[in-house]
Amino acid sequence: MLKDVILVIHPLLVLTADQVIRFREGSSDSFGAVEAHHLDNFSNKEHKQFVKHISNLTVQTTSSVFVFSSPRFLADNKDVLHALLKCNQKLTLRAAAIDEADLLAQHGRSFC
């Protein structure tokens, strides 16, 4: 789990900001480069840079790129979703997880 892209779909944006800070504090010599991105907070310029960055990753990367996103962001930003799907095809998407999945299952589309 210590390299490639790790996608965390998280519907509670307030908690995501805290998690991003904690992941960024995790960079060290023993773990290599650790990046953490909160896609919902990206400007349009950062959004495009992120897509380019993950599109250029190769299986030889030693970086861990933790990506936090709301389900709505991924649904509304097809270019990011397609870039993540291409990471999966290139084997640079290590994992995808849905945090608070029980809330999404319980409330469905009505859960914001």
Q: What is the pLDDT of residues 23-67, one digit of tens each?
A: 777 655 556 678 889 998 888 899 899 999 999 999 988 888 989
Assign domain 4-110 to its CATH architecture: 3-Layer(aba) Sandwich (3.40)
How many whole angstroms separate alpha carbon 3 and alpha carbon 92? Answer: 8
Kindly list the domain boundaries of the chain, sorted by start residue. Answer: 4-110
For Cα atoms 24, 53, 104, give the angle at the middle one, nearest 5 degrees.
65
pLDDT score recorded for residue 34: 81
* Tokens 């790129």 belong to residue: 65
pLDDT for residue 27: 55
Contact 69, 79 (CB under 8 A): no
Nearest to 5 by CA among 81, 76, 110: 81
